[in-house]
Amino acid sequence: MKLVKLSEGETEVFVPEHKKGPGPRGTDLPVFYNPAMEMNRDISISFLKAWDVNGKNLLDGMAASGIRGIRMANELYSGEVTLTDVSHESIKLMKKNAAINDVDVDIFNESIESHLLNNRCKYDYVDLDPFGTPVPFLPTVLRYTARNGVVGLSATDTSVLCGTYTKKCLRLYSARPENNWCRHENGLRILIGHVVREAARYDRAAVPLLSYYDGHHFRVYVKLEAGAKKADDALQKLGRYDFGEYDWEEGKKTGPLWTGQLFSKKILERMTSVGTMEEGSLEMWKKESSMPPFFYDNSIISKYLKLPPPPLDYIITELRERNNKSVKTHFSPTAFKTDAASSVVLDIFKSYSSAP
């Protein structure tokens, strides 16, 4: 395997030679490596610093080149860091990468499922970063992460969760997606809803601390709080929505999905103070963290009303002047969230077009 050396954060690693440029890939390499996930890994480091991993045991359960787990060992002050992967080639490469960074990590050539079964509830943090869907691994991960531990998981099957393949979403997530302007938030909420239901089987409440969409994938960090009552309370926050032409109401069309908060404000504040990731995303997530589910899309409403779209900043200012909350959203550059009634939103579009 031809290797190239690169650095991410404060860590240097060898990875297989790969094509440069945007877009998801990595599966065609002898050991998986996707440069497009650098931001995902930077956010993991920032999140784990904010959560405070001092003395905690961390597992990178699908470690590939080891880049994520070795960054955890090199850039955080934690307890033990363990890496596991089913691929023999990956193990050879992650050992080499651990050596060049001089980090003391435990490396196992076994599946995340069997590793967790052999080390039940040992890990305070488990990172689950599969190709595609995390669904097959969730029962073991959600059951055998330590009490009050955290799971960080990725899902790259965005087309399933966002409604291109409705039947597959029903089979995998037991939920109905919706391929409309809110599909990315809807998909993220279906994923969280599934995690909440799966954790509840083991009398655990999965509480989202940080959940976001980033182009090719979803990423969710949940804290696992133990107790049947807490699990029941989390299940109460599942719901279904019925999308109309430009808005939505609780009904029976999509879901079940998570209707609660996507972020913990406390974690976002701490991520800002540890200062290891760019502030733009953090600021946007902070603003979104106090908003209700879903958003309006400027072009959908303009099309519906057959009126020109007002500038986004104009709409947000007008909504705030009428005593409503309104912010931009990381889910779409042409959209805004608000707690205003849809009639107020439509009025703003109408008054913009009739202004002299």
Ligand X SMILES: C[S@@+](CC[C@H](N)C(=O)[O-])C[C@H]1O[C@@H](n2cnc3c(N)ncnc32)[C@H](O)[C@@H]1O
Token couple for 236: 């109460």
- The footprint of ligand X (CB under 6 A) covers 32-33, 37, 41, 61-65, 67-68, 84-87, 90, 111-113, 129-131
What DSSP character marks residue 246? S
63 or 199: whose CB is closer to ligand X? 63
What token pair was written down for 195?
Answer: 């995690």
Beta-bridge partners for 150: 125, 223
Q: Which of 84, 49, 79 is nearest to 69 (CA)?
A: 84
Q: Which is nearer to ligand X, 85 or 178 (CB)?
A: 85
Tokens of 143: 């059951």
Which tokens sit at 347? 């009025």
Supply φ then ψ for residue 255, to 5 degrees: 95, -170
In terms of CB distance, is 33 or 243 closer to ligand X?
33
Which one, 53 or 155, has the nearer CB to ligand X? Answer: 155
Round to whole Å and give the CA distance between 65 and 71: 11
Nearer to ligand X, 59 or 200 (CB): 59
- Reduced to 3 states (helix: H, G, I; strand: E, B; else coil), residue 208 is strand
CB of 60 to ligand X, least distance (A): 6
Quick one: tokens of 88?
């023999």
CB of 274 to ligand X, least distance (A): 20
Q: What are phi and psi of 297, to 5 degrees?
A: -110, 125
* Pair of tokens at residue 266: 């406390």
Based on CB atoms, which residue is closest to ligand X, 77 or 131? 131
